[in-house]
Structure 1
């Protein structure tokens, strides 16, 4: 058994990658299953532009 990742052989690295992939798949499956099953219909809200506005100032803007 290797107690250091630096001195680990190829098989140990492969085991670590497999465990990480399985853990990621389990978390993805769990997160997807916990999502509400109702379908939400999203509608686009249209925002119409109003009248043009001119903004002017005689003072310079202060940038910090």
Structure 2
């Protein structure tokens, strides 16, 4: 068994690519199925409106800034 990817032969590189591709498809499939399953349970996102309040001035010192 060759433990270096630099000196590995063609079949070893092909195995690495196939394993990475299968793992990527599996992760993507699980993510899509989890996302589609959550929409039926009522966990959909709703838009919230945030209104601006009074303006605030942030300083780095402990002194009060007067404008």
State the TM-score, normalized to the length of structure 1. 0.54
Listed as ranges, the gaps of 5+ residues in structure 1 are none
Listed as ranges, the gaps of 5+ residues in structure 2 are 63-67
- The structure-2 alpha-carbon separation of the partners of 1:49 and 1:31, relative to structure 1 and needing over 3 Å to count, comes to closer
Matches within 5 A, 1:16-31: 16-31=16-31
1:13 and 1:54 mapped to 2: Cα distance?
A: 58
Superposition RMSD in Å:
3.0
Number of residue equivalences? 57
- 1:3 and 2:2 correspond: yes
Runs of 4+ in 1 over 6 A off after TM superposition: none
In terms of fraction of residues, the more helix-rich structure is 2
Displacement of 1:30 in angstroms is 2.8
State the TM-score, normalized to the length of structure 2. 0.53
